[in-house]
Structure 1
C-alpha cells in the first residue's frame, strides 16, 4: 500500500550522490552538486511522503509530506537564487519554506500521537513530559549564545534568526518525549522517525553555531544533514503505510526507563551548573519543572508498585480461606523441589468427604464457612516451612519437606484427627471426614504435575478402600484412568436412565409372610454389565451426584410402588438415603409431594439410613426424621452395629425399624457370642418398641434361629436375592404376600 520500491531507492540514490558530491565540493557554488543533485535529493523525500499520504489517506502523513515539500521549496528558492548571486539577503523568501517545515511537521506528529493518548498510561505520559523538559533544559543552555540575540526588542531579522534554534528546541524536546513511549522507542518505524528528527535538528543547530562563529560556507557535508533527516522521515512515512498505524502505535513492550532517568539527571545537572556559572532563566525553569515532574512520576511509580504487589498477592491467595491458591502452588513448589536437591518430600492431596452434599443442602454460605474452619485446622498441623494451598472446592494440597513415607502417613493421620472433631456452623454440628492421597518426591515424581496426578489417584484409592489415606503405588495408575472414565459415564447414566432398581423382599421371620421390599440400586453399565452400588457409590459422592442419585432412587421406587398398588398388591418399599438427605430440611415436604403425585399413602415408603450418615449433625437429622415420621413415612436404621454410638441413636432418634447387619447373622449359628449379641439386640429393640429386621439370611438354620430369638423380619439370599420387578412379580405369584415361605 506504500510507495513503489523504485521511488524509495531513487530517494536514497539521490542522497548518496549528493553526499558524494559535497565531499568534493569547493567553497564556491557548484551547479552540478548544489542544483542538479541537491534539489532532487531535497524533493525525493517529499515525493515519497506525499505518495504515502495519498495512498494511506492519513492526515498525519499529509502534514508531514507538506512539511517536507515546504523545506524542499525553501531549498529550491535558496539554491536557484545563489546561481545568480554570491549571497542572499536575510531573511529571504527561502526562510518562509524553511520555517513552515517546523509547524507542519510538529502538527503531523501531534495528529499521529493524539490517538495514542487514550491508550497510554499516566506513567508513560509523565515519562514523556520528563524527557521533553529535561532535554529542553539542556538545549537552552547549549543554545544560549544564539538565544541571547533575542534580548531586548529584537529586529525582524533577529527574530527569524532566533526562531530556528527555538523551533529546533521544540523538535528535540518532542523527540525526547517520544523516546519515553514504549513501542515508539522500541519499534523499527518509531526509531526511524526519531532518528530523522534528531539528524535534521542536529544539522540545524550545527549550522546555527557555525553561522554564529562565521565558519559556515556552502558545499560542506553539513548541507546533506537536512536532506538525510528528511529522507529518514520519509522512510518512516513509507513504513507507516506498509505496516499500518497499529504497528506504529504504542504497543505492549518493555518500558523505557532510561529516558526519564537521563532527563532527570540532566535537569539536576543544569541546576548544579547554574550555581557556578550564569545560565538562562528559561533553562533553570525547565530544569525545575523536570525535577518536579520526575517527583510526581516517582510517587506514581510507588503507588503502582504497591498496587501491583497487592494484585500479585491477591492473584496468589485464595479469597475465601486466605491460603495460597493453585497459582501460588504452581509458582512456588517447583523452586522448593529444586532446592531440595533430591531430599525426600511428600505431596499430600486432601479431599473432604461428602462436602458437596453439605454445600448443596445447607447452602454455599455454610459450605464457605466450613472451608474456612477446615483450612485453619489444617494450617495449625503444619510446620513453618511446609507449603499448603487450596486448589479449589474442597481440595487442599500440602508439600511436606524433608519427610519420608512414614512422616507423610503420620501427618495424614494428624490432619484427619484434627478434622474429625465436629464443627459448629449456624447452630449445626458438622463432622468432616477427609481422604488423603500421598505421592513421594523424587521416586514417584520429580515435578509438581506428576506428583499432583499421582496424589489424586492415591486419594481416590483412600476413598474406595475407606482407609482415609493411601500412598501411591504403581498399580494405582490404571485404576485412576478407569475412575475418570467411569465418572463421566455415571453422569451420562443418571441423565439417560441407565440406573435401575432391584428389589429384595422382607418376610416375617416365623410365618414367611412378605412385609415389604427393599429397593437396591443397580447400574446397567454398557461395558461392565450390571454393577452393584459398591462399585460406583464413591464415584457418585466424588462427582457430587448423590442428590441426583437420591432423587432417581426415590422416583423409581415410588413409581414401582404405585404400579404394584394398581395391581392390587400394595406394599412398603424401603429406599436408602445418603448423608446429604439428613441435613436437607426440605426432604420431608419433598417426599410428601412425591407420594401425593402418585396417590400413595405414606405407609408405602420407608427410608433407610446408616449410622455413619447421621454423624455430621445428629440434632438436624433428628428433626428431619421426626418430620418424615410425622407424615407417616417409616424410618429404619440400616447396617446396625457397624457404626458408632448405636445405643445413643436408639435413644435419641425417631426410628421405627432396626436392621441388624449381616456380619452378625452369618456367624450367628456357629459363634455363641454373635448369637448372644443378636438375641440381646432384639430384646433391646423390642423394649424400645422397634421392629427388628435381620439382613443377610443365607440358610434355613439362621432363619429358624432368628425366629426363636423373636426377630420380626428377615431378608437374604435364602429367601430371595435382589431381583428386577418382573422376577419379583413371578415370585409373588408363586408365594402370595400372605402365604409364607415353603418349608425348608
Structure 2
C-alpha cells in the first residue's frame, strides 16, 4: 500500500487541493508571460479567476480542520474578500463595463487588510503564552522600525495622493498605508523566535511581502500611467494569496510549531536592524525633509529599543545570578558539584605536569546525628564543618560540597606529603566539639587522597580513586589514606553489603553469642556479655568488626542497638523463667549518645519482660563520653536511676580514664586485655593491674578482667582481688543453647568451668 493511501481521506484531499492551487498559479503565470499586455478573457477570466479561488478553498478547508480556528477563519475571509473583488473587477472589464474609482471591487480589496491583520494578531495571540515579554517587545521594535522606513519610501506616493482630498484620494492613500501596516507587522513577526526560520512561518511572511510588493508596483505604475491588465504583475497578488493559503494548510496540519524552533541569531538581528533603521531615519531627517509620521515612528522605535535594552540588561543580571546560584551549594555557600566539574578540569589543564592533590572528605556518623537530632541540626552541623574546612585551606585551593556530608578539595601545587599534612590539619580542625542545640557533638572525617597527574589526569579518575582511598581510611580508622595501586574499589561490594545489612536487620539474621563473667576465685557465674554476630547468607557467621563500621556509616546503629537489646532481654527473660537469673551486658556505641530518649526506651523494654532492672548492664567505651561529657553523664545517670547497671569497657585504652571514674555514674570497670595479656611476665603491667583494682575498689566499683587466656593469669588476678574474669580460658562466646549446656550441673566441677 502506498504512503499516500495510508493518509486519512481528509489529509489526502487537502494535499490534492494544495497541489492543484500551485498548478493553477503556474499555468496562470506562464500564460501571462506568453501573451501581450491587455485583457485576454481566456487567460484573465477562465484561468486567472480559478487560480485566485484555489487559495480561498485551501484556506477554508484548513480553517475547518484546525483546532485553533479563529486565525484561519479570519485569513480565509480575507482571501475570500480579495478574490471576490478581483473576480468582480476582471469579469466587469471583460464584458466592457467601465468601473468608477472607487468601485465595489475596491471595497472588497480594502476589506482584505483588516481581516488578514486580524488573523495575524489572532495567530500571534495564540502564541503569547509561549513568548516572553522581551520577544513581544522585539516584535514591536521591528514593526516600528520597518514602518518608519516604509513611510519614507512611500512618501512621494502618499504626498501625490494627498493633494486631492476626495474619496478617491482616501482610497488611493489607504492602499499604501495598509500595505505599510502589513509589512510592519511582518517585520515584527520576524522577531518571534523560530517563526521566520520555520517553514510555515516563513511561508506566511513571504506571502504577505509578495502581496504588498505587488501592491506597491501597481501603485507606482498607476501613478506613472503605465499599468496594463494582463501582465505578470497580476499574478503577484495571486502568488501572495497562494503562499498565505499554504501557511494556513501547514498550520492546520500542525507539522511545525513556532515553539519548537530554537532561538537563533535571527531573533536579536530584527530589533538591531530596526533600531538602526529608526536611527537612520532620524539622521536623514536632519538633512532632507522627512514626513512627520516617519520621524514619530523612528522615535518610537528608539524608545522601544531602549526599553528592550533595559529588559535585556536585567535579564543578563538575573541570568548571572541564576548561574551563580546553580554553581553554589545553597546550605553552605561553597561551590557545588556542578562548579567542581566545571572549574577543576580547567585548573588541572592549566598546570600540566605540576603536582596537585584531590581530597574526598566524608563526615563520620553524620546520618545518625541528622536522623536523631533533626535535619535543621544536621544543616547547622554542615555549615560549621564547611566553615572550619574553608579556614584550613590556602588561597587558590578549591573546595566544594558534593552533597550530604561529602566534600571535595583540590589542592594546587601540592605533593603527597603536603596533602597528608593538610588532611591532618583538616581532621584536627574538626576534633574540637561542635555545639548544636546546646549539645556538643564531635564529628570526625575520613579523607581519601588521589594525586595528579600520577594517579589520574582527569577529574573523573581522581574522584573515583579518592573515593576508594576514603573508604580505606574509614575501614582502617586511620583518618586518611593515599590511594595506592593495590587498593581495590569497594563500591559495588560495599553497596551489596549495605543492602544485605538492611535485610539482616529486617529478617532476623543477627544473632547473639554469650561469654560468661565468673568470680575470679570461686568460678561462680555472675553474668554474661552479649556479643552480636551476623549469620550472613553468603559469608557465614561474621564478627562485629566486619559490619559495625558500615552500620555506623549507613546510620543503622540505632536499629542495630534496638535489635541487640531485644534479643538480649528476650534471652534474659528466658533464663529468668528457667530459674537462672543472670545479668546480661550489652555494648552501646558512642553514636547512641545523641539519642536522648534512650534511657526511657531501655527501661520500657526491661519492664515489658517483667525483668528487674539489674538484669541488664550496658557497657560503654571511652569514646562514648568524648564528644559531650555532660550529655553522656546525663544519659548514664538516667539509666542508673532506673536500676540499670553501667560498665566502662576497654578501660585503660583512652586518655581520660581517671576523670571518667571521678565524674561518671558507673558500677563496673572492665580492664582491657592489653593489660591482662602481659601481666604474668611483665612486672610493670602487673603493677598497673593491681593498682587499678585497688583504685576501683576504693571507689566502690566491681573490676572485671577481659581476655583471660590461661590459668596462671586467672590465679594472679584472684590474688590481686579482681572480682570477675572473662576470656577464652573460661569460655569463648557461644550461642545461648551451648551456654546452657556449659552451665548444666553435669559440666560443673569443684573448680572453674572451662571450655
2:346 matches 1:301: no
Q: In structure 2, what is the equivalent of residue 598 of structure 1?
A: 609
Which whole-Å deviations, capped at 9, do the CAs of 1:574-606 have from their partners, x for residues lacking one?
Answer: 111122212322211111111222222211111
CA contact (8 A) 2:38 2:231 kept: no
In the alignment, the residues of structure 2 paired with residue 560 and residue 708 of structure 1 have an alpha-carbon distance, to the nearest angstrom, of: 33
In the alignment, the residues of structure 2 paired with residue 644 and residue 222 of structure 1 have an alpha-carbon distance, to the nearest angstrom, of: 104
CA contact (8 A) 1:735 1:741 kept: no
CA contact (8 A) 1:514 1:740 kept: no
Instruction: Give the secondary-structure state (helix, strand or coil) at the position aligned to 1:257.
Output: helix
2:330 matches 1:310: no
Moved more, 122-131 or 63-72: 63-72
Equivalent residue runs for 1:162-241 within 5 Å: 162-241=173-252
Q: In structure 2, what is the equivalent of residue 488 of structure 1?
A: 499
Offset at residue 478 of structure 1 (A):
4.8
In the alignment, the residues of structure 1 paired with residue 688 and residue 111 of structure 2 have an alpha-carbon distance, to the nearest angstrom, of: 112
Q: In structure 1, what is the equivalent of residue 107 of structure 2?
A: 96
Equivalent residue runs for 1:447-526 within 5 Å: 447-526=458-537
Instruction: Give the secondary-structure state (helix, strand or coil) at the position aligned to 2:208.
Output: helix
Offset at residue 545 of structure 1 (A):
0.9
Offset at residue 704 of structure 1 (A):
1.0
Gaps of 5+ in 2: 1-9
Q: In structure 1, what is the equivalent of residue 4 of structure 2?
A: none
Offset at residue 486 of structure 1 (A):
0.7
Equivalent residue runs for 1:569-588 within 5 Å: 569-588=580-599
Q: In structure 2, what is the equivalent of residue 6 of structure 1?
A: 16
Instruction: Give the secondary-structure state (helix, strand or coil) at the position aligned to 1:351.
Output: strand
Offset at residue 445 of structure 1 (A):
3.0
Moved more, 544-553 or 414-423: 414-423
In the alignment, the residues of structure 2 paired with residue 509 and residue 664 of structure 1 have an alpha-carbon distance, to the nearest angstrom, of: 16
In the alignment, the residues of structure 2 paired with residue 401 and residue 216 of structure 1 have an alpha-carbon distance, to the nearest angstrom, of: 81
Offset at residue 719 of structure 1 (A):
1.0
Moved more, 209-218 or 562-571: 209-218
Equivalent residue runs for 1:515-554 within 5 Å: 515-554=526-565
Offset at residue 490 of structure 1 (A):
0.8
Q: In structure 2, what is the equivalent of residue 329 of structure 1?
A: 340
CA contact (8 A) 1:181 1:250 kept: no
Offset at residue 20 of structure 1 (A):
2.4
1:712 counterpart (716, 723, 728) = 723
Q: In structure 1, what is the equivalent of residue 635 of structure 2?
A: 624
Q: Per the alignment, do residues 132 and 538 of structure 1 end up closer, same or farther by CA in structure 2, a change over 3 Å counting?
A: same
CA contact (8 A) 2:162 2:169 kept: no
CA contact (8 A) 1:149 1:158 kept: no
Instruction: Give the secondary-structure state (helix, strand or coil) at the position aligned to 2:449.
Output: strand
CA contact (8 A) 2:515 2:530 kept: yes
Offset at residue 525 of structure 1 (A):
0.6
Instruction: Give the secondary-structure state (helix, strand or coil) at the position aligned to 1:36.
Output: coil
State the TM-score, normalizing by the size of structure 1: 0.95
2:650 counterpart (639, 663, 669) = 639
CA contact (8 A) 2:145 2:301 kept: yes
Aligned length: 743
Offset at residue 30 of structure 1 (A):
2.7
Q: In structure 1, what is the equivalent of residue 126 of structure 2?
A: 115
Q: In structure 1, what is the equivalent of residue 665 of structure 2?
A: 654
RMSD (CA atoms): 2.2
In the alignment, the residues of structure 2 paired with residue 714 and residue 330 of structure 1 have an alpha-carbon distance, to the nearest angstrom, of: 57
Q: Per the alignment, do residues 743 and 431 of structure 1 end up closer, same or farther by CA in structure 2, a change over 3 Å counting?
A: closer
Q: Per the alignment, do residues 720 and 153 of structure 1 end up closer, same or farther by CA in structure 2, a change over 3 Å counting?
A: farther
Instruction: Give the secondary-structure state (helix, strand or coil) at the position aligned to 1:435.
Output: strand
Instruction: Give the secondary-structure state (helix, strand or coil) at the position aligned to 1:343.
Output: coil
State the TM-score, normalizing by the size of structure 2: 0.94
Q: In structure 1, what is the equivalent of residue 420 of structure 2?
A: 409
Which whole-Å deviations, capped at 9, do the CAs of 1:395-429 have from their partners, x for residues lacking one?
Answer: 10011223232222222111112211232333333
Moved more, 566-575 or 280-289: 280-289
Instruction: Give the secondary-structure state (helix, strand or coil) at the position aligned to 2:180.
Output: helix
2:301 matches 1:290: yes
Q: In structure 2, what is the equivalent of residue 49 of structure 1?
A: 59
CA contact (8 A) 2:162 2:173 kept: no
CA contact (8 A) 1:583 1:624 kept: no
Q: In structure 2, what is the equivalent of residue 731 of structure 1?
A: 742
Q: In structure 1, what is the equivalent of residue 30 of structure 2?
A: 20
Offset at residue 118 of structure 1 (A):
2.5
Which whole-Å deviations, capped at 9, do the CAs of 1:215-264 have from their partners, x for residues lacking one?
Answer: 333333322221221111111112112225x7245755447111111112
